[in-house]
Chains A and B, each alone.
Chain A
Amino acid sequence: EVQLVESGGGLVKPGGSLRLSCTASGFTFNTYSMYWVRQAPGKGLEWVSSTSSGSDYIFYADSVKGRFTISRDNAKNSMFLQMNSLRAEDTAVYYCARDYFRVPKELYYYMDVWGKGTTVTVSS
């Protein structure tokens, strides 16, 4: 079964850090571009960051640039999101998602497989 499972969420104080993980199974992880998308409580979807299959291309939303770092370990079928200098407005459910197409060094942003999400709460 194709599956993504996020972990690492929790309650953190403003200015703190968290590292989210996304573990993939059921597909050839190292051939897909991967994404982080978040959803604040009662709000819409917001793209956070992207990495191509070989980490050649990495992008960040302006709202997290300089604070968040995306990475992946293809040998461990895992993707990560290191989140530093967290703010209240980073409070959200964080989803990892897979691209629909498998094209090296290309990001189509058609997200066909999603995890269930992990909740990050930034509050004092």
Chain B
Amino acid sequence: QSALTQPASVSGSPGQSITISCTGTSSDVGDYNRVSWYQQPPGTAPRLIIYEVTNRPSGVPDRFSGSKSGNTASLTISGLQAEDEADYYCSSYTRSSTPVFGGGTKVTVL
């Protein structure tokens, strides 16, 4: 199972909106609404911020939103804040009943 494709880096100024794409295939992202997103600041464990494509766990700010179209899922961070600087990973369920992660995107707040 190949990793999902994410841009290596995305940057934005405070207050701006950024979007991270996550491209898979018809065997994973395109076939299931089981996409999740994780935030990982340096030196810490990942944190679940989106599940089931669009849903936020309790405690995650509504600045974070998810969507999906075809084989590509997206994470949008609105009103970018300095604390959002981290690595972000997407993940999708696959036809093998196993998950696959994206390669990760480093978000920089300028």
Q: Are A112 and B99 in contact (CB under 8 A)?
A: no
The answer to whether B69 has its CB under 8 Å from any CB of chain A is no
The stretch from A16-24, A39-47, A76-84 touching chain B is A39-47
Task: Please report B residues at the A interface, Cβ cutoff 8 Å.
Answer: 1, 3, 34, 36, 38, 40, 45-48, 51-52, 57, 87, 89, 91, 93, 96-104
Q: Are A44 and B45 in contact (CB under 8 A)?
A: no
User: Most chain-B Cβ atoms within 10 A of its Cβ — which of A46, A95, A111?
Assistant: A111
Count of A-B residue pairs with CB < 8 Å: 61
State the Cβ distance, B36 to closest chain A Cβ, in Å.
5
Q: Are B97 and A59 in contact (CB under 8 A)?
A: yes
The answer to whether A116 has its CB under 8 Å from any CB of chain B is yes
Q: Which residues of A contact B36 (CB under 8 A)?
A: 109-111
Cα–Cα distance between A47 and B57 once the two chains are bound (Å): 21
State the Cβ distance, B3 to closest chain A Cβ, in Å.
7
Cα–Cα distance between A117 and B45 once the two chains are bound (Å): 7
Interface residues on chain A, number (Cβ under 8 Å): 22
The answer to whether A107 has its CB under 8 Å from any CB of chain B is yes
Task: Decide: A44 near B48, CB < 8 A? Known: A61-B98, A112-B57.
Answer: no
Q: Are B48 and A100 in contact (CB under 8 A)?
A: yes
Q: Are B98 and A110 in contact (CB under 8 A)?
A: no
Contacting B at CB under 8 A, from A2-61, are 37, 44-47, 50, 57, 59, 61
